[in-house]
């Protein structure tokens, strides 16, 4: 429904929402530290691999894990323990990063990626590992999770 009143427009939508679980960049035991997480939509695996390999060398990052989250969509994880500003700097230096993911994370003060598959899509699958000589700075168990509701459209929903 759309209502126009003077120079204002009010729109009301009805969407079916689905429950999702996501991982957050903030560490469980130190909210001032974050892990690196990337969201890529419509980028080739080769482009993602070479972009992340370049960042790994440039920023002296630990090993990076690339996961197929949906067809033509990828997530990547790096168990760093960096400040939010440092994470934003690295993400802003990432070609083909999903800009909506970046923008929403900036607004929230942390980044979230879903870990539950969408309806009728294959489960997540580890597709590449970019090994590093630098040790992990945190553990997977230090990551926080959240439950949220979103439409099943995909796109900006992590």
Domain positions in the chain: 19-151
Q: Which long-range contacts (CB under 8 A, 24 or more apart) does 148-152 make?
A: 148/19, 148/20, 148/22, 148/112, 149/17, 149/18, 149/19, 149/20, 150/17, 150/18, 150/20, 150/114, 151/15, 151/16, 151/17, 151/18, 152/16, 152/18, 152/118, 152/119
Per-residue model confidence as pLDDT tens for the chain (158 residues): 788 888 888 888 787 888 889 999 999 888 899 999 999 998 999 999 999 999 999 999 999 999 999 888 999 999 999 999 999 999 999 999 999 999 999 999 999 999 988 777 788 999 999 999 999 999 988 888 999 888 766 544 44
For position 2, what pLDDT does the model report? 82
Prediction pTM value: 0.84
For position 154, what pLDDT does the model report? 52
For position 22, what pLDDT does the model report? 94
């Amino acid at each position: 429904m759309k209502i126009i009143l003077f120079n204002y427009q009010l729109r009301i939508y009805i969407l079916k929402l689905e429950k999702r679980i996501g991982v957050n960049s903030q560490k469980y035991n130190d909210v001032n530290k974050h892990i690196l997480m990337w969201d890529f939509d419509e980028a080739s695996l080769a482009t993602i691999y070479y972009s992340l390999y370049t960042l790994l060398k440039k920023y002296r990052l630990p090993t990076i894990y690339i996961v197929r989250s949906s067809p033509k969509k990828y997530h990547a994880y790096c168990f760093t323990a960096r400040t939010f500003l440092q994470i934003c700097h690295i993400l802003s230096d990432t070609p083909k990063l999903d800009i909506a993911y970046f923008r929403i994370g900036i607004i929230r003060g942390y980044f979230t990626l879903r870990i539950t598959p969408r309806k009728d899509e294959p489960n997540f699958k580890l597709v590449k590992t970019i090994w590093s000589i630098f040790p992990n700075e945190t553990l997977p168990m230090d990551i926080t999770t959240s439950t949220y509701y979103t439409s099943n459209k995909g796109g900006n929903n992590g």
